[in-house]
Amino acid sequence: MISLNHYLILSAVLFSVGALGVLLRRNALIILMSVELMLNAANLAIVAFARYPFFREVGLAAEDLAVAGNGMVFVFLVMTVAAAEVGVGLAIIINLYRQRQTINIEIANLLQG
């Protein structure tokens, strides 16, 4: 039986993988993807919480429908925002590539100090 905790642990793992990706990779595109992974981990947690309101193991009571809806709508909004972020992000990365012919973030450190 898959319980809420399973989902939460999975989401924590995904979140950590994403965070590690941000820390370890040098390619701006991959960093952006890692961030998306983190957002999806959060989405997973939200959906799981929406599915298991008030720590009930199975089934949805009528009053929990609102809670479920609330969570799922939020997930959709987060996905939309993430999509917008990626759209803007790709544009910015392309611009960077045009300027420097690379998207390695270690090269982009004119601004420091």
Q: How far is the C-alpha of 103 from the C-alpha of 98, rounded, in Å? A: 9
Main-chain phi, psi angles of 91, to 5 degrees = -60, -45
Of the two residues 1 and 107, which places its CB atom closer to another protein in the complex? 107
Under DSSP, is residue 104 helix (H, G, I), strand (E, B) or coil? strand
| Alpha-carbon gap, residue 40 to 69, rounded angstroms | 18
Cα distance between residue 26 and residue 35, in whole Å: 13
* In the complex, minimum distance from the CB of residue 54 to another protein, in angstroms, rounded to a whole number: 6
Residue 30 binds another protein (CB under 8 A): no
Q: What's the rounded Cα separation, in Å, for the pair 14 and 9?
A: 9
At closest approach, how far in Å is the CB of 110 from another protein? 6
Regarding 58 and contact with another protein (CB under 8 A), the answer is no
Residues that bind another protein (CB under 8 A): 11, 15, 18-19, 22-24, 26, 28, 31-32, 35, 38-39, 41-43, 45-46, 48-50, 53-54, 67, 70-71, 73-74, 77-78, 81, 84-85, 88-89, 91-93, 95-96, 99-100, 105-106, 108-113
